[in-house]
Amino acid sequence: MRASAEKVRQIRDRAAETAAGSATVAEWEIAVLHRDHRSGDGACVRATWFKVAPGQVGRCLDLYRESVLPALEDLQGFCSASLLIDRSSSRAVSSATFDSREAMDRNREAARSLRTTRLRELGADQIDVGEFELAIAHLRVPELT
């Protein structure tokens, strides 16, 4: 990752310029990755950014694996989920991919309830939630559960 930083920086800067925007770089660890099945055209992602108390990252990983993943798998149209963490800041982002916008929309309330309950159990602070179309799928990352 670090060996390619300069080449990637050039590509990133060109992309930001093309989009008339700016880029921010942050390094995140892929802590958990689970795929139920491959996503197809029209797939969408719900991402939740949150901050855990210092020293609670391990507990966060356990809760995600033992409680969040099984609950996500029960949602109709679920494709995959991941948890990325930045240990230095105790920040994390959870993403859940669904087969379609409609599937993601149908599960919005169940996902909100799951998120509220699990963040409360963890004592974590929600930073943001976003819903997106999935632009790039099938990254070559092994299953990490």
Q: d(Cα 14, Cα 35) in Å, to the nearest integer? A: 32
Q: Which residue has the tokens 């909100």?
A: 112
Q: Where are the domains of the chain?
A: 26-133
Yes or no: say if 94 and 47 are a contact pair by the CB < 8 Å rule.
Answer: yes
pLDDT tens digit sequence for 80-91: 999 999 999 999
- Of 33 and 138, more confident: 33
Is the torsion defined by CA of 61, 95, 27, 31 positive or negative? positive
pLDDT tens digit sequence for 46-62: 999 999 998 899 999 99
Select from 3.40.50.12780, 2.60.40.10, 3.30.70.100, 3.90.1170.10 the CATH code of 26-133: 3.30.70.100
DSSP SS3 for 74 = coil
Tokens representing residue 109 in the block? 């309330």
